[in-house]
């Protein structure tokens, strides 16, 4: 079996309809902020089941705006997972806050809610202000339980759902709670980077069910400027606006929203394909010395941004696959081990599960346009390595 074309761990698929949607914008009146921004927001909110959505320039700026809206400052102390992209923690540092890392659960690879609960009980009241939970690889955090824990200690929740649009868990009332729907988290964020479920090139989205938060986010993404007559101190005419707070230029242009709207139309089809690919991997790897994460659960809808396995001799497998033109990836180096976070004057991080996971993890190719033949080649190559 010979496959000469490189197989990445993830990639975008741009359809004829996607291209037509972008070309249509090029002939329209707006390239930057225009009517497609609001259309994308409304359609995305409906997709995840939230009341409001705010489109921004990328997932990192989405996290930053969430932290600003929740009032994070130099006196804030926030908890997150070490197994995530650095932005989940960096957004707190942008606002001057302190970050603590809670180890992951060995089965789910998500923040260990048992350790979190113990940590909160062992520390004085008001030690912490909030939690940035991460739906790592597309597997949703049990936000119902997390909400219960956070309510006991008066903490807010930002749900980092960059990996999980279309993912869900079933709560105690047997209701399917989709990632980002705002039923339990104060705010949720998504990314539209090319390897994500919805590719805009770059882009992000914030979802919330709180109208005042929604209005604040819209101002903050555009320099803190408003034209709302109810907020203006005076009004000189139709051109008049006021900057009422310090905001940023974190807007997403119409041209990228056009691509996002088109991609959103295939979201369900694509997530179905991701799950098919995962099932096939699961079946073919069941007799190999591989740990597949996380375990399947009928009441949890895994969005499968990544297909992560744990193996011995990870570096050898990584190099072997690269020699076979299969570009697997490692997700992630624990954030607390990064030199920047090591240099901070903070409490020691005890995260043995995260560190052991990092030594063994590897993400295999996972994207909707991965063909059966390409997946066969990946499976064949992994099996041959173990032979």
Domains of the chain, by residue range, sit at 7-386
Nearest CA-CA partner of 259 in 22, 12, 16, 20: 22
Name 56's bridge partners: 204
Cα(175)–Cα(198) distance, integer angstroms: 25
The pLDDT value recorded for residue 347 is 83
**Tens-digit pLDDT profile for residues 253-303:** 999 999 999 999 999 999 999 999 999 999 999 999 999 987 777 789 999
Query: What is the C-alpha to C-alpha distance for residues 214 and 229, in angstroms, rounded to an integer?
Result: 17
Mean of all residue pLDDT scores within the chain: 96
Res 206: pLDDT: 99
The predicted structure's pLDDT at residue 346? 79
Q: Over range 65-81, report the average pLDDT.
A: 98
- Helices first, then strands: H and E counts in the chain: 13, 17
Give the predicted TM-score (pTM) of the model: 0.97
3-21 pLDDT tens trace: 569 999 999 999 999 999 9
Q: What is the mean pLDDT of residues 333-338?
A: 98
Q: What is the mean pLDDT of residues 107-114?
A: 97
Of 69, 65, 60, give the one whose Cα is nearest residue 90.
Answer: 60
Could you report the per-residue pLDDT of 186-201, keeping only the tens digit for each?
999 999 999 999 999 9
Q: CATH assignment of 7-386, given 3.40.50.360, 3.10.520.10, 3.40.190.10, 3.40.640.10?
A: 3.40.640.10
Q: Is 346 exposed, middle or buried (0-12, 13-18, 19+ CB in 10 A)?
A: middle
């Amino acid at each position: 079996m010979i496959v000469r074309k490189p197989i990445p761990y993830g990639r975008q698929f741009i359809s004829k309809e996607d291209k037509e949607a972008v070309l249509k914008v090029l002939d329209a009146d707006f390239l930057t902020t225009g009517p497609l921004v609001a259309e994308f927001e409304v359609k995305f909110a409906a997709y995840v089941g939230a009341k409001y959505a705010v489109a921004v320039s990328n997932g990192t700026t989405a996290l930053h705006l969430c932290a600003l809206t929740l009032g994070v400052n130099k006196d804030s102390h926030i908890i997150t997972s070490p197994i995530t992209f650095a932005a989940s923690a960096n957004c707190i540092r942008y606002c001057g806050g302190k970050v603590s890392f809670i180890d992951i659960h060995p089965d789910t690879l998500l923040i260990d809610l048992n350790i979190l609960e113990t940590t909160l009980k062992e520390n004085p009241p008001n030690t912490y202000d909030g939690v940035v939970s991460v739906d790592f690889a597309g597997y949703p955090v049990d936000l119902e339980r997390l909400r219960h824990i956070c309510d006991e200690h008066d903490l807010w929740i930002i749900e980092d759902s960059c990996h999980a649009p279309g993912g869900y868990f079933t709560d105690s009332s047997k209701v399917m709670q989709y990632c980002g729907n705002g039923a339990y988290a104060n705010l949720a964020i998504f990314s539209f980077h090319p390897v994500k479920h919805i590719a805009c090139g770059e882009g992000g989205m914030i979802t919330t069910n709180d109208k005042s938060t929604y209005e604040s986010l819209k101002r903050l993404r555009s320099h803190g400027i408003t034209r709302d007559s109810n907020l203006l101190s005076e009004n000189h005419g139709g051109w008049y606006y006021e900057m009422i707070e310090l905001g940023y230029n974190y807007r997403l242009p119409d041209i990228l929203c056009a691509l996002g709207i088109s991609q959103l139309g295939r979201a369900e089809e694509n997530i179905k394909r991701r799950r098919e690919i995962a099932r096939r991997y699961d079946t073919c790897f069941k007799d190999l010395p591989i740990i597949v994460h996380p375990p399947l659960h009928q009441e949890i809808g895994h969005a499968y941004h990544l297909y992560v396995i744990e193996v011995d001799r990870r570096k050898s497998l990584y190099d072997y696959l690269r020699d076979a033109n299969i570009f697997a990836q490692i997700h992630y180096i624990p954030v607390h081990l990064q030199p920047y976070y090591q240099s901070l004057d903070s409490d020691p991080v005890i995260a043995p599960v995260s560190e052991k996971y990092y030594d063994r993890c590897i993400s295999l190719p996972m994207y909707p346009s991965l063909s059966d033949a390409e997946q066969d080649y990946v499976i064949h190559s992994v099996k041959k390595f173990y032979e």
